[in-house]
Amino acid sequence: MAERQEKAVARYEAAAAYLPSRLRKLALLLPEEEKKRAEEFRLRVGQPMTVLLPEGELTLEGIVNPEELETLCNLATEFSRYAAVETMREGYLPVRGGFRIGLCGTAVMKDGINTNLKDLSSAVIRIAREQRGIADPLVSRLFRDGEFASTLILSPPGGGKTTLLRDMVRCLSDGAPEREAKRVSLIDERGEVAVIYRGEPQMDVGMHTDVLDACPKALGIPIVLRAMNPQIIALDEITVREDLKAVAMASGCGVRLLATIHAADVAELLQKPLYAALLEDRVFRLAVRITRTETGRAYEVEELPC
């Protein structure tokens, strides 16, 4: 437990290193108990910087100015912003160390397409923390007749789906003494699972995982099917009908799937027409439901209805 808490503080301080000097000093003054629980730094021009804790935003002193957001971007891109324009126009920057910076500002439009962001107004540094090992006792329960059964991870927003997905991908990719390693293709549309930085995952997603970064899931699934010969395709947050069609196509090709969906449980899933069709087609066989407890998170496996 003490080692985990030390790592949580270290991750907080590593994320703070991307803040401009004045704001970094303020962030480092936070008590260690709050550093361990911090989830984000939030910067808004004309407002004080805040630190997001599980119970809400904690306001620090001082007002954020536009120049500090520019400095933040320069630090995040190692003063090579031109190399990050592809993700910056999507509103985020992947950062060395497994962090991700979300951005708001004025869109630079050309022929109806956003090509960049200027006059930055807000930024969020997400303090991503790996919880390596949380999936170890869980993954073995997701096999049927010796094969991985396509599985959905369910929880409301902020419930820990992406964190669990990342560690499940690692487990499946690395294998274990009782089960062989699997070839996993991870379609990381928002760059939050593997957090690719200059081609290298900043998070541990396993040695047999191929990552397709910043690609919409409906486009990415056919790409990895053609190019990577995956045994399992993993993806975060199925949200639109196009995703469902691509997922069904992959299932029809014999590939197993691991995906997350915003839903508290299977009952809520069945109330959403978009996902009800997915269950009717039996693309997924199992669900992992994440629930919060007084000591953390619990993971419950259940069979999906026929």
For residue 125, pLDDT over 90 is answered with yes
3-state helix, strand, coil in the chain (%, to 5): 35, 30, 35
Indicate the range of 9-23, 74-88, 162-176 predicted with least confidence: 74-88
Domain boundaries 136-303, corresponding CATH code = 3.40.50.300
Give the model's confidence band at 3: pLDDT under 50 very low, under 70 low, under 90 confident, else very high.
Answer: low
Q: Is the pTM of this model over 0.85?
A: no
Residue 122 has pLDDT above 90, yes or no: yes
Cα 73 versus chain centre, distance:
20
- How does residue 81 score in pLDDT terms, banded at 50, 70 and 90? confident
Tokens of 239: 């949200």
In which band, very low, low, confident or very high, does the pLDDT at 1 lie, cut at 50, 70 and 90?
Answer: low
Tracing tokens 């985990």 back to the chain, one arrives at 4
- Evaluate whether 288 touches 154 at the Cβ level (below 8 Å): yes
Look at residues 105, 124, 125, 127 and name the one whose alpha carbon lies nearest to residue 116: 105
Highest-scoring range by mean pLDDT, 1-15, 24-38, 262-276: 24-38
State the amino acid at position 164 in one-letter form: L
User: By three-state DSSP, how is residue 134 classified?
Assistant: coil
CB 260 within 8 A of CB 152: yes
Domain boundaries, the chain: 2-126, 136-303
Domain 2-126 fold: Beta-Lactamase (3.30.450)
Q: How far is CA 292 from CA 117, 157, 160, 260, in A?
A: 37, 12, 9, 17
Would you give the DSSP letter of residue 204? -
pLDDT higher for 222 or 129?
A: 222
Report the C-alpha gap between 302 and 286 in whole angstroms.
6
Cβ pair 139, 273 in contact under 8 A: no
CA Rg, the chain, in Å? 20
Predicted confidence band of residue 306 (pLDDT cuts 50, 70, 90): low
